[in-house]
């Protein structure tokens, strides 16, 4: 292996061994935690909750859940900041860094 090829191989990061499904589930669980009652919801979060794939509720992994989380990170971050949710922010950061 050439030196250049070895350097390129060293920069490759694999998702193998990272449980992105679990990371996405943890973030969604925190989102749902903040919107348990109708007085705490709005149209955006109603739309978000409607997009949660059935696999989340049945425990069957699906890429759609990770896509939902990754494509809404800014809104989720804003939600967690609004409720001063340090745990939620930590879970979101982990999902974003490891999986998105």
Domain span holding position 49: 41-100
Evaluate whether residue 34 is within a structural domain. no
Look at residue 8 and tell me whether its pLDDT is greater than 90.
Answer: no
CA atoms within 13 A on the CB side of 37: 2
What pLDDT sits at residue 38? 65
Look at residue 6 and tell me whether its pLDDT is greater than 60.
Answer: no
Rounded distance, CA 87 to CA 73, Å? Answer: 15
Evaluate whether residue 13 is within a structural domain. no
Evaluate whether residue 19 is within a structural domain. no
Any idea which of 3-17, 55-69, 76-90 has the lowest mean pLDDT?
A: 3-17
Tell me the pTM: 0.80
Give 15-62 pLDDT, tens digit per residue: 667 889 999 999 999 999 988 766 677 889 989 999 999 999 999 988
- Mean pLDDT, all residues of the chain: 85
- Vertex 61 angle, CA 32 and 76, to 5°: 30
Evaluate whether residue 36 is within a structural domain. no
Evaluate whether residue 33 is within a structural domain. no
How many independent structural domains does the chain possess?
Answer: 1
Take residue 15 and report the two structure tokens written for it.
Answer: 């998702």
Rounded distance, CA 91 to CA 88, Å? Answer: 5
Residues 6+ apart with CB under 8 A from 7: none
Find how far residue 9's CA is from the centre of its chain. Answer: 27
Evaluate whether residue 99 is within a structural domain. yes
Q: Which residue has the higher pLDDT, 13 or 22?
A: 22
Evaluate whether residue 54 is within a structural domain. yes
Rounded distance, CA 72 to CA 47, Å? Answer: 12
DSSP SS3 for 53: coil
Evaluate whether residue 28 is within a structural domain. no
């Amino acid at each position: 292996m050439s030196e250049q090829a070895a350097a390129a191989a060293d920069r490759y990061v694999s998702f193998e061994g990272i449980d992105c499904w679990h990371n996405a589930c943890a973030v969604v669980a925190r989102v749902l935690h903040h919107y348990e009652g109708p007085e705490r919801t709005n149209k955006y979060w109603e739309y978000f909750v409607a997009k949660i794939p059935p696999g989340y509720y049945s425990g069957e992994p699906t890429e759609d859940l990770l896509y939902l989380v990754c494509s809404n990170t800014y809104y989720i971050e804003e939600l967690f900041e609004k409720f001063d949710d340090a745990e939620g922010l930590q879970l979101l950061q982990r999902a974003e860094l490891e999986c998105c």
